[in-house]
Amino acid sequence: MIIWSILDIEPTEDVASIRKAYARKSKIHHPEDDPEGFQRLREAYEQALKEVRASWPGSASNGNRSVRRQPVKKDTACDFDAFFDFREEARRALMLQDLEQAEPYLAVAFQLYEEDPDLLRLIGLYYVIQGDWENALPAFDRLLRVRPGDIDGLLHRADLYLKLGNPEKARTDYGHILADHPDHLQALSGQARSYCLEERMEDARSIYVRIVERYPHDIDARVRLLDVSRRLGEREMQTEVYRPQLPERNRGWFRRQWSRPSSAVCDTPAGSDETAWKRMDAPFENVTETWCLALGAILFERKGLKPDEFYSEEFKEETRSQCKHSLECDWAIHSREQLLQRLDQLMVAGDNRSFTELRSFLSTLPESDPSAYNDSLGNTHESYVQYQIVQTYDHKLPGAGIAAWDWGRYVFLCREGALAGYLTEAEARSLMRRVAHMAQHSYSDWLEYGIGFLVGEQFSVKKLSGRHADERLDTAEALLWNESSLWRRLDWDTRLD
């Protein structure tokens, strides 16, 4: 019974409980700090597993255990059975974004066997999730020494080089992939981003044109092509040649809307307990509030509204009625309570939660498994398109993923809720500022935020087609190109009060 005392658990036949106990105790008895204690712990763990497996009927394999891939060096002296157990527990923890749970399993698995490429990739992902680029890079370096040419390893290392400001090295890794797979979407996108970092806009534009022609559904490539073309002063040529033609009735509508004179925000008169939105033909007086509203700019624009417009007193009742009707028809919101519930849902369980879960699941699978898994679903499966969307944008979006989609809707509902009388102006401002601070720390600029929003919309409606991208791009075009748009007038790094 001493083995259970060393593991500090009651006798059990649950292998998962034994593994967790061993991982927990290994933090206390680290092999470098307490080699004798670690040896006793190791012997207790192996004996516990031996006793449990001896009780299994038929064979010594656990029916619940997943299919395993053999390490590269099969002749290495290692308890591979234990190694696979810990590696798979680490994988499951990373799928759930549980870094605290993953860390001890990764550490123990690495102590058992240091040259497994799948484990090295998981260690790299562990640091990537934390935003620790410097520690993630050696893991992928080592992976590529063990398995040269590993596509997933090359992609991750190239992405890290971009984050660390080394586009030339990144382009080398992307080039290795493209040498064998010339239409590889992630590698092409990464190569274009590397050219942008070096201000080689002509080279970047030629790659984005190639991507858009090959993958017309790629929102990231199409928006970045718009931006690169703007920066090259080629707006008219890009619009006429490279963007799919939109119906004539929609063309230029957003641009005309944005060309209207700017408006500014003023506070509600002191002593007023009503939500009064006043239009002022003057420069912005409250930059923070305007910046917050700009997070919902795409939705405001589609509604034909300028987010920085505040209505005068004489239109208050009419506006309130219109906003209530809009909330009821578009959002099924009929009361303050329902509005607050929807806002909480967007913060806690919005579409980004599902996107992140799928992203974590696919990213922790071995190299060839994500595509194979998606193919196994069949294009009639309800999650098939969402898996495709995650694979398309995994290496293009930041860690925040499609949170912009949830946050943009959140801001829109705050403003509409205040106009409808469900929120006070002070409540709406407080809620919007909360989201604004998160957005500013999660994305690098309005371009990246806008892409996150549009990809989130793709994910939500489960549409990955060039036609759907056509229908959404006009808004982004106006926000990115028109000098009077909020995104062009407001610096992303504006200090928020």
Q: What is the pTM of this model?
A: 0.74
pLDDT in tens, 205-238: 999 999 999 999 999 999 999 899 888 885 445 4
The pLDDT tens digits for 343-391 are 999 999 899 999 998 898 888 876 555 666 666 666 666 678 898 999 9
Q: How far apart are CA 248 and CA 451, in angstroms?
A: 25
Give the model's pLDDT for residue 201. 94
Q: State the average pLDDT over residues 281-303.
A: 79
pLDDT at 318: 74
Tell me if 464 sits within 8 A of 217, measured CB to CB.
yes
C-alpha separations of 294 from 242, 447, 451 in Å = 28, 12, 14
Side chain identity at residue 247, one-letter code: P
Instruction: Reply yes or no on whether the pLDDT at 245 is more than 50.
Output: no
Q: What is the DSSP string of 92-157?
A: HHHHTT-HHHHHHHHHHHHHH-S--HHHHHHHHHHHHHHT-HHHHHHHHHHHHHHSTT-HHHHHHH
Is residue 112 one of the residues assigned to a domain? no
- Asked if residue 120 belongs to a domain, the reply is no
371 found inside a domain: yes
- Return the pLDDT at 257: 36
Which H helix or E strand runs over 172? helix 167-180
SS (H, E, C) 80-95: HHHHHHHHHHHHHHHH
CA 365 to chain centroid, in Å, comes to 17
Tokens of 492: 């992303």
pLDDT, residue 374, reads 61
State the Cα–Cα distance between residues 454 and 460, nearest whole angstrom.
Answer: 10
If we measure between CA atoms, which residue out of 72, 93, 6 comes closest to residue 44? 6
- What contacts 256, CB < 8 A, 6 or more positions away? none
Weakest mean pLDDT among 189-193, 278-282, 300-304, 472-476 = 278-282
Looking at residue 372, its pLDDT comes to: 60
Question: What are the helix (H) ranges across 365-402?
Answer: 369-377, 384-393
- With beta carbons less than 8 A apart as the criterion, state whether 326 and 416 touch: yes
Does the residue 322 lie in any domain? yes
Residue 410 lies in a domain: yes
User: Sorting pLDDT into bands at 50, 70 and 90, what band is 306?
Assistant: low
Distance of CA 368 to the CA centre of its chain: 21
Residue 98 placed within a domain: no
Residue 403, pLDDT > 60, answer yes
Mean pLDDT of the chain: 81
Structural domain span for residue 41: 2-54
| Buried/exposed code over 33-60 (b: 16+ C-beta within 10 A; e: otherwise) | eeeebbebbbebbeebbeebeeeeeeee
pLDDT of 475: 78
CATH of the domain at 16: 1.10.287
Q: Specify whether the CB–CB gap between 306 and 257 falls below 8 A.
A: yes
Residue 11 within any structural domain of the chain:
yes
Span 138-160, pLDDT tens digits: 999 999 999 999 999 999 999 99
- Does residue 425 sit within a domain? yes
What's the total number of domains in the chain?
2
Query: Considering 32, 54, 76, which residue would you say is the last residue of a domain?
Result: 54
- Choose between 378 and 284: higher pLDDT: 378
Name the residue with higher pLDDT: 192 or 45. Answer: 192
pLDDT digits 0-9 by tens, 56-103: 443 333 333 333 444 445 445 677 788 888 898 899 899 888 899 899
pLDDT of residue 283: 36
- Entry field: residues in the chain: 497
> Is pLDDT of 320 > 90?
no
- How many whole angstroms separate alpha carbon 261 and alpha carbon 220? 30
Q: Mean pLDDT check: name the lowest of 295-304, 307-316, 431-440.
A: 307-316
The torsion of the CA quartet 292, 296, 298, 300, rounded to 10 degrees, works out to -100
So what's the pLDDT on residue 40?
84
pLDDT band at 279, cuts 50/70/90?
A: very low
